[in-house]
Amino acid sequence: MNIRGLNFEFTETSSHVELAAAMHQQCFSKPWDEASFHSAMNIPGTVLVLASEKSVPVAFLVYRYSEPEAEILTLGVLPAVRQRSIAGALLDQGRLYLQERDVDTLWLEVSSRNKAALCLYKSQGFKETGRRKGYYQDGGKKEDAIIMKQIFSTSNLRIDKRKT
């Protein structure tokens, strides 16, 4: 499907783990390697979404669903194309895919120090439901994990299904 110049590809197989691992490395200080992607994709209900612009992959999203709930496992946009609403578009498309599979609640966990991700999730309508104190270790520093949830409703949909 093509939205705002972005093309989205969904897979529940390991077909793109090499590419996903290479992109993950550009987005995280502790990246998932190919083996991690293989392990994740081997669990039923795990979906990898790749967003491409002019045929160049620019972002990825991995989530796992078991209706009526799903959880985001990882999400990243390549540094050169950030703050252009690509992550928002990826989450919009991911939500449509989940709604078609009778999922109505999406969960995630994010570090309290990840300002960009917190801005993204708040602007997407996620609400904080809890915290795990000192859950992440970054060098010598401990960071809280913020647990967030979104319950889907038609108002969460920024993209009209008929246009996809």
Ligand X SMILES: CC(C)(COP(=O)(O)OP(=O)(O)OC[C@H]1O[C@@H](n2cnc3c(N)ncnc32)[C@H](O)[C@@H]1OP(=O)(O)O)[C@@H](O)C(=O)NCCC(=O)NCCS
- Site for ligand X, rule CB under 6 A: 27-28, 75-77, 82-88, 110, 114-117, 119-120, 123
What is the DSSP-derived secondary structure letter of residue 72?
A: E
Q: CA nearest 125: which of 161, 154, 153, 156?
A: 156
The nearer residue to ligand X, 57 or 88, going by C-beta atoms, is 88
The nearer residue to ligand X, 98 or 110, going by C-beta atoms, is 110
The nearer residue to ligand X, 77 or 103, going by C-beta atoms, is 77
- Asked if residues 20 and 39 have their Cβ atoms less than 8 Å apart, the reply is no
Structure tokens at 108: 């995630």
Minimum distance, C-beta of residue 65 to ligand X, in the bound complex (Å): 17
Minimum distance, C-beta of residue 162 to ligand X, in the bound complex (Å): 23
Unique residue bearing structure tokens 């979906």: 47
The nearer residue to ligand X, 65 or 126, going by C-beta atoms, is 126
- Asked if residues 81 and 4 have their Cβ atoms less than 8 Å apart, the reply is no
Minimum distance, C-beta of residue 130 to ligand X, in the bound complex (Å): 16
Minimum distance, C-beta of residue 100 to ligand X, in the bound complex (Å): 22
Minimum distance, C-beta of residue 85 to ligand X, in the bound complex (Å): 4
Give, in order, the Cα–Cα distances in Å from 108 to each of 3, 56, 132: 24, 27, 13
Report d(CA 63, CA 121) in Å as an integer: 15
Furthest-apart CA pair in the chain: how many Å?
49
Q: CA nearest 47: which of 8, 86, 105?
A: 8
The nearer residue to ligand X, 54 or 102, going by C-beta atoms, is 54
